Structure 1
Amino acid sequence: METLLTNLTISLTDFKKNPSKVLSEAGPRPVAVLNHNKAAFYMVEPKLFEALTELAEDLAMTPLLKKRLAKRDQAIEVDIDTL
């Protein structure tokens, strides 16, 4: 059994009839578009997609951040007023 990551679903056939209507009715909530009762894709508004993209970028930077934090003892202290 497949786990859906939203409470809203629509068939691909119904989605194709009027995608704009589906988007407006969903509001900020994601919609799973189903093909043969399996999620073919998720439709999300741009604001949510941007937030997910930023989160993914932050997660991708985590290993580098941890590596740099481990080298804190090698840091050089600087006074911004003297620069």
Structure 2
Amino acid sequence: MQRIFADVAVSVSELKKNPTAVMTGAAGMPVAVLNHNRVMGYMVPAELYEAMMERLDDLELIQLAKSRADEQSVAVSLDDL
């Protein structure tokens, strides 16, 4: 059985009828879109999507900082910049 990573799930037919009502009913949370009772995708409000992208960017920057943590530092004065 396929796992659904959303509290709200709708069929493609239901979504086509009134997508705004589906998103409003989800109250800012993800919506699983089902086709023949299988998840074909997820819809998320723009605000949540943007927050997810910010979080991914933060995780990438953390990984980059950790990978460079053991590099030798170079002393530089502000006047040299």
2:74 aligned partner:
76
2:65 aligned partner:
65
- TM-score w.r.t. the length of structure 1 is 0.80
1:2 aligned partner:
2
1:53 aligned partner:
53
Instruction: Name whichever of 9-18 and 49-58 sits farther off.
Output: 49-58
Number of matched residues? 79
Per-residue deviation at 1:79?
5.4
Q: In structure 2, list runs of 5 or more residues that go unmatched.
A: none
Q: In structure 1, list runs of 5 or more residues that go unmatched.
A: none
1:35 aligned partner:
35
> d(CA) in 2 for partners of 1:46 and 1:68?
33
Runs of 4+ in 1 over 6 A off after TM superposition: none
Q: Which has the higher helix share?
A: 1
- State the SS of the aligned residue for 2:24: helix
- TM-score w.r.t. the length of structure 2 is 0.82
> d(CA) in 2 for partners of 1:38 and 1:58?
32
